[in-house]
Amino acid sequence: MSANGPVRRRGRPASAEKAAGEPATRDRILGSARAEFAERGYDKASIRAIARGAGVDSALVHHYFGTKEQVFTAAVQGAFAPALGIPDLLLSGDPEEWGEQLVGYIFMIWEDAVTRDPLLAIMRSAVNNETAASIFRGLITRNLLERVAGGLDRPDPELRVELAMAQLVGTAMLRYVIKVEPIASARPEDLIPRLAPVVQRHLTG
Amino acid sequence: MSANGPVRRRGRPASAEKAAGEPATRDRILGSARAEFAERGYDKASIRAIARGAGVDSALVHHYFGTKEQVFTAAVQGAFAPALGIPDLLLSGDPEEWGEQLVGYIFMIWEDAVTRDPLLAIMRSAVNNETAASIFRGLITRNLLERVAGGLDRPDPELRVELAMAQLVGTAMLRYVIKVEPIASARPEDLIPRLAPVVQRHLTG
């Protein structure tokens, strides 16, 4: 069940659902948290508004996640879940093919609104607040950057991975956020062959 | 004179300064507008707060710039002024050297907080609001994209320029906004030689 699940009476969770549906409630809180952080920014986001958006008590948000910082961390981790498959995908293959594998996988995540929107929401929060940026930075460093760089037998592996990420982050910005044409409407099959060799060059060139 | 110029009595401009110093007042309003848009987002930004930040009447903001949308457009144009030299720079040279020229010039703009901070402020507004993104999109399309693509004798010139821009926009995001290491602290002379050939490849490869 997502943030779009059935509307419930606000204020307190029905105890039957609380017992049977903890993952659903948790997901609904995370969906509401992403929306709140994206809309109001990290500083102005409130646990109360996140609870309201999920149709639960503030106490339940604290119960599941703790502080606002911890709610944000959980929301980032949730949004990043699909991307966390990247290190395993790459490390199981030949580094000379990472460019194509990585770009193909990233477009799979991006082209589905279900996996794209949470990522964009979290990126918006991180762009606008130093605390949010710092949490975001820690998570991508530990979960993506260090693991992928660890499999790269080249000088300056972290910098290589970040320059490859920069190409992809910038493509996402222009295509999905600023929506400048023609990149916003280009087909993935026209973009992937232009991006893969450049990403490959950063990684192993 | 910039937004850091002398502090003045708030509420109404001294008429002597109004006569002699219109460009200074205008700049101060634009500096305040950038700060307000970056901090509160386009939707929540108000002409009143922009006026207050510049130490002038709201009426004077309307007098110089018109509506909120027009204030934003002027702020973007101001922030982009240094980047508007890019088309002339490139079009006067050999497209086979555009990668190096463009990346060198961009780092000159980025590495000076005076030219970088207004750009980042405007980028933050555009990331968080569709109206702001649309104004931003129109300006970069007309002032940068179309002009540079017009000098490129290759198929899909706009898409080429945008993929090159994506590499640079993403680098700015990771280096100056998210501040992930090691790219955040890398020296320009270590980044430029890695970026220039990739940008060149997008443009003419």
Quote the pLDDT of residue A117: 86
B18 to chain A, any CB pair closer than 8 A? The answer is no
Check residues A22 and B56 and name the one with the higher pLDDT: B56
Q: What is the pLDDT of residue B97?
A: 96
- What's residue B21's pLDDT? 53
Angle, helices B157-172 vs B113-128, to 10°: value is 110
Centroid of chain to Cα A23: 19
Cβ separation A156–B183 shorter than 8 A: no
**Domain A1-66: homologous superfamily in CATH:** Homeodomain-like (1.10.10.60)
Tokens of A156: 């300056």
Confidence of residue B19 (pLDDT cuts 50, 70, 90): very low
For residue range B139-174, list pLDDT tens digits in order: 889 889 999 999 999 999 999 999 999 999 999 999
Shortest CA distance from B144: residue in chain A: A180
Q: Residue B127 — pLDDT band, cuts 50, 70, 90? A: confident
Question: What is the average pLDDT across A100-105?
Answer: 96
Fold of B79-204: Tetracycline Repressor; domain 2 (1.10.357)
pLDDT band at A156 (very low <50, low <70, confident <90, very high): very high
* Residues in chain A within 8 Å Cβ distance of B177: 126-127, 133
Considering only CB atoms, A180 lies closest to which of B162, B179, B194, namely: B162
Assess A124–B contact: CB distance below 8 Å, yes or no: yes
SS3 B76: helix
Residue B56 per-residue DSSP state: S
- With a cut of 70, say whether residue A62 has pLDDT above it: yes
Q: Which two tokens stand for residue A38?
A: 């994206």
Find chain B residues with C-beta within 8 A of A145's C-beta.
Answer: 180
Mutate to test the interface with B, among A122, A141, A160, A173 (most CBs of B within 10 A): A173
Identify residue A134 by its one-letter amino acid code: S
Residue with tokens 């006067």: B92
For position A19, what pLDDT does the model report?
Answer: 45
Contact B201 A202 (CB under 8 A): no
Q: Is the ipTM of this complex over 0.90?
A: no
| CB-closest option in A133, A174, A179 to B166 | A174
Mean pLDDT of A135-151: 91
What is the pLDDT of chain B when averaged over all its residues? Answer: 87
**SS3 labels along chain B:** CCCCCCCCCCCCCCHHHHHHCHHHHHHHHHHHHHHHHHHHHHHHCCHHHHHHHHCCCHHHHHHHHCCHHHHHHHHHHHHHHHHHHHHHHHHCCCHHHHHHHHHHHHHHHHCCHHHHHHHHHHHHHHHHCHHHHHHHHHHHHHHHHHHHHHCCCCCCHHHHHHHHHHHHHHHHHHHHHCCCCCCCCCCHHHHHHHHHHHHHHHHHC
Tell me whether residues B133 and A183 touch, CB distance under 8 A.
Answer: no
In the prediction, which pLDDT does A79 show?
Answer: 85
Residue A12 confidence (pLDDT) above 70: no
pLDDT at A168: 97
**Chain A positions in Cβ-Cβ contact with residue B162 (cut-off 8 Å):** 174, 180, 182-183
Give pLDDT, residue A13.
47
Give CA torsion, residues A86, A92, A97, A99, to 10 deg: 10
Do you know the residue count of chain A? Answer: 205
Tens-place pLDDT, residues A20-42: 457 789 989 999 998 888 777 78
* Domain spans of chain B, in order of start: 1-66, 79-204
Q: What is the pLDDT of residue A130?
A: 84
